[in-house]
Amino acid sequence: MISSLNGDLENSLYNLHPGRSIVVAMAAEDANDLRRALEKNEIIPYFQPLVELRTGLLSGFEVLARWQHPNRGLITPNEFIPLAEDAGLNGLLTGTLLRAVFAAAKDIPGHLTLSVNISLTQLTDFSLPKHIRTAAEQASFPLNRLILEITESALVANTEQAYRIATELKEQGSRLALDDFGTGYSSLRHLQSLPFDELKIDASFVRSMGHTRESRKIAAAIVGLGNSLSLTTVAEGVESQTTADMLLWLGCDLGQGWLYGRPVPPEQLPEVLAARLDPVPPVPEPRSPAADSTLPLRLEALPTQRLAQLNAIYDGVPVGLCFIDRNLRYVSVNKRLAEMHHLPVAAHLGRYISEVMPSVYPLCEPYLMRALNGEASSNLEICYPDPNPLNEKRTHLISFHPACDEASEVIGISVSVVDITHRKQAEQALAESEDHFRHTVELNPQVPWTADPNGMILDASQRWESLTGLSIPESLGTGWIRALHPEDVRPTSRTWSESLRTGRPLDVQYRIRRIDGSWRWMRARATARRKNGEIIRWYGTVEDINAQRSAEEALRRSEARLQAIFDAVPVGLVIAEAPDGRVVKSNPRAEEILRSSATLPTVIDDYCRESISFSPDAPSTPGATDNRDHPLANAILGGQSIGPTEYLRFHSDGSSAWISLTAAPVRDPDGKVSGGVVAIRDIDEEKREMQRLADLNTVLKVKLETHH
């Protein structure tokens, strides 16, 4: 590496000066100038940010040495490090630079790392670990924050000695990074023999990733190798967000380059830290166009562990998956798809689709051709006989997506298959059930409907349209009110509003205009459905009650006529119900005869008991009665007619009057006694006239007997 660097230095000097002797003289002069620069601390560290690709957070800095020459300006390491090595100033250079780095580190937060390059010559100096340790101790800088970057070329020059020094550096706390991997000998023995912590991708590969496929593949291989060895991977030369996106998808950890910042001297560190360590969560760098949706994830870039995870997912998902090449042959098949085909996975690989699934291929061929032309087809329902002994029909949901390389060329087809046979069968059963339900609803004389919590009608049966002539869309919301009789709009709306306010069930009757112009009575009922105490829907029905209303009206008219007759007959009538004989109705004539208009008896037999209770011959023992005291009760319970029976009724004022009672049971259509009726006649005058005639006959008879 020394000869290489010196050669580069000499070439650059030849470009500046034509004479060889002049070059040698200037080299000696430059060596003296370098010694003076080290004494005056003109070799200063520059800090370039290292950024976490996934989050955009600052991870640390790489330290780059710069010679701030008073006449020539800023000189890069490629020029002055070979001079230091030739002049034996390498140790002095290392110590001076590290002291400057550690001094500047006091302003850098403790979680950030510092990466420093170790040259070939330094790696052959057994005193290097001591110099580093001494400089760190003087500055109280923890060595676990220091990352020492070693190039592959430095390891090749003196392998055994370099290994011993690198191991000692590691043991005293520093971390090691293998720099510029892929540009030198790239021996895997270095990664195996030395305890490296980081693997750095050379900037030459990173910068050309956007336009060179080979560079992408080399970068992918390095990232995959680093991840498989549990090494942090760092990409140098990141200059665009497109490159950063590619590296992120490849699995790279850290990025370094002009996209995140150029190297800055120590005095500019506070400005960089303020921008990168703002307390506000960092805003990620702007993504390249469509990076999240179109940037492909390359399996070749993934470490062994991630490939194992993907394989586990590939075989574990309940979806059939496979990859088809451009010749329509199976490249990979997961276990689920093999089970769907009733074939082992091995029976698919390398074979044509038409050979493995001859009955399915004609159905899929058009979509396979489209995929090869870059057109995706998603969620296609394909039904075909299942290749099993039962030959049942299966329905699969299949998607065909073209798989493209970095140049957007189609290299194959990704196919996903979901067995939806059971779902289709359930949908068919549900459709049949809904059809049955629809027919049931259509045959139902009631009109079911639903409304939202505010009372807006959401849906109704088609019967409503046949009843009113209003279509369902016209009736939704509050449109149904147009079908109501004008006199019923206000009371119906008031009742509906009250139910909406209180949540109580709705029960309202109103008239609607039929298609033929006639009015019919309807009854609407509804109940609220609640969730967590809140009304979420109203479910109701409307039924035609016109016939019922007509019957009720006819019954009311009939009852009115019967009531008129009931009130007009010259006989007292009292009606009681079974089985206790309680009075439910009496006409004015009964009240007149019994003189009880103010307080009617509640039990029908009281009409009879009163005559006993006021009778001089009433039983002296309280509660002593006989069956004659309960003529109507006997008739109701026994189902027999009683009477006519004459009673002398004593009134509360001490007067008395003769009445005639006739009791008869009332039977239901099934013959069961449901009540009774008693007819009361006032026979007092008739009875007393007959008594006078009897008394007169008795007197006449006595006189005649005396005369004779």
Confidence of residue 31 (pLDDT cuts 50, 70, 90): confident
Confidence of residue 708 (pLDDT cuts 50, 70, 90): low
612 and 478 in a single domain? The answer is no
Confidence of residue 404 (pLDDT cuts 50, 70, 90): confident
504 and 639 in a single domain? The answer is no
CATH code, 665: 3.30.450.20
Q: Which amino acid is at 622?
A: P
pLDDT at residue 679, as a whole number: 87
Position 12 in a domain: no
Number of domains in the chain: 4
For residue 426, pLDDT over 60 is answered with: yes
pLDDT at residue 330, as a whole number: 92
272 and 342 in a single domain? The answer is no
Q: Which of 488, 515, 549 is the last residue of a domain?
A: 549
Question: Smallest Cα–Cα separation from 522: which of 537, 539, 507?
Answer: 507
Pairwise CA distance, residues 148 & 112, whole Å: 14
**In the block, residue with structure tokens 């009757």:** 509
Position 696 in a domain: no
Q: Which amino acid is at 505?
A: P
Position 288 in a domain: no
pLDDT at residue 264, as a whole number: 92
For residue 501, pLDDT over 90 is answered with: yes
Position 402 in a domain: yes
Q: Which of 425, 455, 482 is the last residue of a domain?
A: 425
State the chain's maximal CA–CA distance in angstroms: 205
For residue 138, pLDDT over 80 is answered with: yes
User: Given the DSSP bridges, would you call strands 175-181 and 146-151 parallel, antiparallel or unpaired?
Assistant: parallel
For residue 303, pLDDT over 60 is answered with: no
543 and 582 in a single domain? The answer is no
pLDDT at residue 534, as a whole number: 92
Asked if residue 668 lies in contact with residue 636, where contact means CB atoms within 8 angstroms, the answer is no
Position 26 in a domain: no
Q: What would the mean pLDDT of 494-520 be, rounded to a whole number?
A: 92
Position 704 in a domain: no
527 and 492 in a single domain? The answer is yes
576 and 674 in a single domain? The answer is yes
Which has the higher per-residue pLDDT, 66 or 707?
66
For residue 60, pLDDT over 90 is answered with: yes
For residue 3, pLDDT over 70 is answered with: no
pLDDT at residue 676, as a whole number: 84
Beta strands in 428-517 (DSSP E): 447-451, 457-460, 506-513
For residue 23, pLDDT over 70 is answered with: no
How large a percentage of the chain has pLDDT more than 70?
80
**In the block, residue with structure tokens 């002797």:** 21
pLDDT at residue 434, as a whole number: 65
51 and 155 in a single domain? The answer is yes
450 and 335 in a single domain? The answer is no
Confidence of residue 286 (pLDDT cuts 50, 70, 90): low
Which has the higher per-residue pLDDT, 328 or 428?
328
For residue 281, pLDDT over 80 is answered with: no
Lowest mean pLDDT among 238-242, 267-271, 449-453, 652-656: 652-656
**3-class DSSP assignment, residue 200:** strand
How large a percentage of the chain has pLDDT more than 90?
27
Position 124 in a domain: yes
109 and 246 in a single domain? The answer is yes
Lowest mean pLDDT among 101-115, 323-337, 691-705: 691-705
Residue 241's domain comprises: 46-77+88-277
pLDDT, tens digit (0-9, with 9 covering 90-100), for 98-114: 888 888 888 889 899 99
Asked if residue 418 lies in contact with residue 320, where contact means CB atoms within 8 angstroms, the answer is yes
Please give, one letter per residue, the 3-state secondary structure of 457-487.
EEEECCHHHHHHCCCHHHHCECHHHHHECHH
- Find which of 66-80, 529-543, 692-706 is predicted with most confidence, using mean pLDDT: 529-543
Q: What is the mean pLDDT of the chain?
A: 80
Pair of tokens at residue 156: 């090749």
For residue 497, pLDDT over 90 is answered with: yes
Pair of tokens at residue 281: 């969560």
pLDDT at residue 640, as a whole number: 79
Asked if residue 427 lies in contact with residue 420, where contact means CB atoms within 8 angstroms, the answer is no
502 and 628 in a single domain? The answer is no
Confidence of residue 601 (pLDDT cuts 50, 70, 90): low
459 and 529 in a single domain? The answer is yes
Position 498 in a domain: yes
112 and 211 in a single domain? The answer is yes
Which has the higher per-residue pLDDT, 321 or 668?
321
pLDDT, tens digit (0-9, with 9 covering 90-100), for 611-669: 443 344 444 333 434 445 566 666 666 777 887 888 787 777 778 888 888 888 888 88
pLDDT, tens digit (0-9, with 9 covering 90-100), for 586-600: 888 888 887 765 455
Which has the higher per-residue pLDDT, 507 or 610?
507
pLDDT, tens digit (0-9, with 9 covering 90-100), for 78-98: 888 878 877 777 778 888 888
